[in-house]
Structure 1
Amino acid sequence: MGARRDDIQAFLAACAAGRTGSVAAVAAGLARIAALDRAGVALAAMLRVMPDATDVARDRDRARRDGAAPGPLHGVPIVVKDNIDLLGTPTSSGCRALADAMPWRTAPALATLVDAGAVVVGKTNLSEFSFEIRSRSSLGGDTRNPFAPTATSGGSSGGTAVAVAAGYALAGLGTDTGGSIRVPAAYNGLVGLRPTWGAIATDGVAPLAPSTDTVGTITRSVADAATMFALLAARDPSGGRPAAGMRVGILWQLPGPAPDGIDRAAAALHAAGVAVEQAPDLPADLIPGGDHIVDEEFGPAFDRYLRTAFHPGTAPASLPDLIAGGHYLREYDAVLRARAAPRSPAVRATILQRHKALRSALAAIVADGGYDALLYAPSAVLPRSMDNPKGGWAPELAACSGWPALALPVGRTARGMPLSVELLAPADEEAVLFTLGAAIEDGAGSRPVPDL
């Protein structure tokens, strides 16, 4: 059936044919923000709309008319999670204490997209400090799921996902520490890429746990994810092996909201000539849980970020100063204070050793089965309320191993929510994810689109 063609590739083709332009696309997104974000269903995906977005779009259109060679994202409207620095615009991490925090520069990852021609429409809401897998902040409140506005969008990159799903922009830049790109992508019927840890620079990004933090993308198609990854990582993921002849192992050990999502993905892979079989379970003692690296790394890392990232006087000078001011979600008070307390190097070392053991176990499963990738559900549940979803440990496989993962939609559940799967491949094998993801996308048909 093929993927729904409302993505970056379709937009660029329409621009080249003279059927649309960046100004028209930005205007359409701004109109939807006005109608849906603070009025109507009040999705609350946006924290800030860029006042110069239309002017930048007009410059992109003029350059195209004048015959300038367009960049790979020329005139493409994007949104950016508000924990990624953009010069001249505050980086809030969703926190009232950081509402006016002015960074020294634009994060290199975001600068790469702007240099490629992207137009930043605005900064998006998120889970404050990226703490949860719902997107609730003291600045923006709860970001609502456009498929079920009484339910959360997921998080922590929930505002970015909702903005792309609701038509505010064609793609988004987010971050992923445990599942913060893939969970909201799954909950909103989108493609979420967590790249190999270290493949994309995290300079100019508010830290959560540097040992697992990464920048990633939320897009409407696998092709768009590949395009943006090639820019962000300065690495061309194309030209790999075809899907036919690849092997995928299903981790049925991981619970999911509906087994037929895995079945749909498996059927699409079979149709593309991919061998799919059940993979062995991971050893029970290596299942992620217990002490979490965020608890050990957030306090020192965020304190260092506050001390170095912002113009003096625009933000609290340290994490203790931020806590003393009290301008953050009060429900986070206990966890924020706990994570700001002195840490134990021994505990951190133990957690990282467990990550290494998990990576070795995954490598053994892949090697023994001859698998190119593993397949499973990205979340154990789908959201039904504004509560923090109990999504389970599936997203931690990529986070703890450092391997890349791709979440993508395969249809809807009986109650109309997006149904998604996740692919996990060894480090630096993003090309495998894109090849297999495209096969699933082609077989599963058009992505779900919210009725707004």
Structure 2
Amino acid sequence: MTAAPPPAGLLDAVAAYEAALMADDVATLDRLFAPGPATLRADAEGVLVGHEAIAAFRTARGGAPRRTVVQTHVQVVDADHALVVVVTELARGGRGLMTQLWARAAGVLEHGGWQVTAAHVSVPAPALDSRVWRVVGDPLVPPPGVHPRDEGPLAGQTVAVKDLYAVAGHAVGAGNPAWLAQAPVESAHAGAVARLLDAGAAVRGIARTDEFAYSLAGANAHSGTPPNAAAPYRLPGGSSSGSATAVGLGHATIGLGTDTGGSIRVPAAYQGLHGIRTTHGAVDRTGLLPLAPDFDTVGWLTRSADLLQAVGDVLLPPGSPGGADDLVVASGLLDLAEPDVAAAVRAWATAAGAAEVQLPLDRLDDWRTAFQTWQAAQAWTAHGPWLDGRLDVLGADVRSRFAHAATVDAGTATGARAVLDDARLRLRELVGDRVLVLPSAPSVAPPAATGATPENRTATMRLTCLAGIAGLPAVSLPVRTADGLPAGVCLVAAAGRDRDLLALAAGRPGPG
């Protein structure tokens, strides 16, 4: 305590706050935080601004870690303002700090009129952030002995491997504890993992994924939601969520993931990263647990276009079928994005000299529906034999998708496949030898507290299904909206032009 006594009622308000926190009494906590848009709450993940955002976070988190107050320090500013520092001892071990600026508000009768106007909370960092990593090492797997640490094109780089790829000595967990419990230990690395190791990179660890990669949000019902370093308290994007977050946080330099319906492009957009979905079949998928083999592709994320290209030099086949670097942007695709994202993508396209074109996209919703139907049929073929009778091991969102997948009959699947065969030809014709510019995702990352809505998923699939249907490469580049939130510009080209897109991305970064 300071020599000056704390103002009347302050310590009672601090005690009431602590009691409400331990009881997860959200209503009392809301009343103890000052109303309005200027109230602040910060922790290691970022800053929440405004009472409304703080309340939404508090409601969604499901309570705070158990703790005991061991010290309380007060520094009096004046009769109506004081800085309070509380030292806590966590039940799980370690000490934390809570620093709060309290103010006495006129007309507020409860708790002596005292309310928190700004707060910062810190707790000991976990030895392993299990939202991001299933297994991690320093490194988990070093490059082979034939490559000392300072040799190879990827020497010094570290890889976060999505938990769908085989890593020798470990099981593939697929984001689901029940699956992991019965999965065998892999005896060999997946093809892409082995190539990265041979190039001198080290595997930092096995990163979390949405269950069986059947999601675009990045929220796992079992391990939690990986944080989004570029947009705190917002979804990280899935299903390569752990790999993306590991790169965004600086835990790894390369995030090895997959992209079936957008699982590289969406987290790249949400987290301000560079990412590539490769041409279908261009990169070895040996040792990769499938979701929908007709769409599954290898992809990766990095913080720079140069490293994105360097990984491509290792994983991609040599050569290119050729084509122009002429950029075209379809207004119809921009219109599918929220206005802030559309404006950011349009600004990039204008600065890059893209020509605006009109594309016949009148069947886009039919194509999206067919894509999701055939994806569901393939997902059930891949995992239905194991999931049949045990759908309850899945989180609610993924469970609903597999439950629907189980109902897709052969006739419906065959009809969807026929629509896709036609769409594939049409889309390849529309892209031609040009580079198509479109949003990587239609919106910025939704708040983690509210999650992604079915409408957001549908809007996202309208854009992301195009490259998936046609089996085309797609590179996502980071841009910012007017509000400073991450978004993505997607470049799509003809099959096999992966290296061309990577070179274009590295040489023409665009604004933002």
Normalised by the length of structure 1, the TM-score is 0.75
1:329 aligned partner, one-letter code = G
1:227 aligned partner, one-letter code = A
Corresponding position: 1:377 with 2:445: no
- Report the CA distance shift for 1:409/1:176 in structure 2 as closer, same or farther (over 3 A): same
Q: Distance in 2 between matches of 1:105 and 1:45?
A: 24
Q: Distance in 2 between matches of 1:363 and 1:59?
A: 44
1:148-187 matched pairs, under 5 angstroms: 148-187=231-270
Equivalent residue, structure 1, for 2:490: 422
1:366 aligned partner, one-letter code = V
Does the 8 Å contact 2:139/2:205 carry over to 1? Answer: no
Secondary structure class of the residue paired with 1:152 = coil
Distance apart, 1:178 and its partner CA: 0.4
Distance apart, 1:52 and its partner CA: 4.7
Corresponding position: 1:333 with 2:399: yes
Q: Distance in 1 between matches of 2:142 and 2:247?
A: 19
Q: Deviations over 1:335-381 (max 9, x none)?
A: 3344346x5333223222222222222233334xxx51111111111
Does the 8 Å contact 1:82/1:124 carry over to 2? Answer: yes
Secondary structure class of the residue paired with 2:142 = helix
Does the 8 Å contact 2:306/2:506 carry over to 1? Answer: yes
Secondary structure class of the residue paired with 1:175 = strand
- Report the CA distance shift for 1:221/1:60 in structure 2 as closer, same or farther (over 3 A): farther
Does the 8 Å contact 1:80/1:124 carry over to 2? Answer: yes
1:253-264 matched pairs, under 5 angstroms: 253-254=332-333, 255-257=336-338, 258=340, 259-264=342-347
Distance apart, 1:38 and its partner CA: 5.7
Q: Distance in 1 between matches of 2:284 and 2:180?
A: 24
Q: Distance in 2 between matches of 1:230 and 1:175?
A: 18
Corresponding position: 1:249 with 2:328: yes
Q: 346, 355, 379: which one pairs with 1:298?
A: 379
- Report the CA distance shift for 1:104/1:279 in structure 2 as closer, same or farther (over 3 A): farther
1:376-415 matched pairs, under 5 angstroms: 376-386=438-448, 387-388=451-452, 390-391=456-457, 392=459, 393-410=462-479, 412-415=480-483
1:81-96 matched pairs, under 5 angstroms: 81-96=162-177
Equivalent residue, structure 1, for 2:49: none
Secondary structure class of the residue paired with 1:346 = helix
Distance apart, 1:439 and its partner CA: 4.0
1:158 aligned partner, one-letter code = S
Secondary structure class of the residue paired with 1:142 = coil
Does the 8 Å contact 1:269/1:436 carry over to 2? Answer: no
CA RMSD of aligned residues (A): 3.0
2:436 aligned partner, one-letter code = L
Equivalent residue, structure 1, for 2:94: none
Does the 8 Å contact 1:134/1:152 carry over to 2? Answer: yes
1:334-373 matched pairs, under 5 angstroms: 334-340=400-406, 344-367=409-432, 372-373=434-435
1:378 aligned partner, one-letter code = S
Secondary structure class of the residue paired with 2:430 = helix
165-174 vs 99-108, which deviates more?
99-108
Equivalent residue, structure 2, for 1:29: none
Q: Distance in 2 between matches of 1:196 and 1:122?
A: 26
Corresponding position: 1:219 with 2:323: no
- Report the CA distance shift for 1:331/1:434 in structure 2 as closer, same or farther (over 3 A): closer
Equivalent residue, structure 2, for 1:115: 198
Distance apart, 1:114 and its partner CA: 1.0
Q: Distance in 2 between matches of 1:403 and 1:108?
A: 21
426-435 vs 393-402, which deviates more?
426-435
Normalised by the length of structure 2, the TM-score is 0.67
Equivalent residue, structure 2, for 1:46: 133
Distance apart, 1:160 and its partner CA: 1.0
1:252 aligned partner, one-letter code = S
Unaligned 5+ runs, structure 2 = 1-121
Does the 8 Å contact 2:147/2:200 carry over to 1? Answer: no
Q: Distance in 1 between matches of 2:346 and 2:124?
A: 35
Q: 365, 385, 388: which one pairs with 1:320?
A: 388
Q: Distance in 2 between matches of 1:285 and 1:267?
A: 25
Corresponding position: 1:276 with 2:355: yes
Larger strand fraction of residues: 2
The answer to which structure, 1 or 2, has the higher relative contact order (CA under 8 A, 6+ apart) is 1
- Report the CA distance shift for 1:95/1:385 in structure 2 as closer, same or farther (over 3 A): same
Does the 8 Å contact 2:161/2:257 carry over to 1? Answer: yes
Equivalent residue, structure 1, for 2:32: none
Secondary structure class of the residue paired with 1:48 = strand
Equivalent residue, structure 2, for 1:30: none
Q: 367, 381, 388: which one pairs with 1:288?
A: 367
Aligned residues between the structures: 376
- Report the CA distance shift for 1:36/1:129 in structure 2 as closer, same or farther (over 3 A): farther
- Report the CA distance shift for 1:296/1:37 in structure 2 as closer, same or farther (over 3 A): farther
- Report the CA distance shift for 1:354/1:58 in structure 2 as closer, same or farther (over 3 A): closer
Q: Deviations over 1:214-263 (max 9, x none)?
A: 111111222322222232233256x977xxx7322212212223233223
2:439 aligned partner, one-letter code = A
Give percent identity, aligned residues only: 29
1:28-39 matched pairs, under 5 angstroms: 39=126
Bigger Rg, which one:
2
Distance apart, 1:61 and its partner CA: 9.0
1:91 aligned partner, one-letter code = V
Secondary structure class of the residue paired with 1:141 = coil
1:88 aligned partner, one-letter code = G
Distance apart, 1:58 and its partner CA: 11
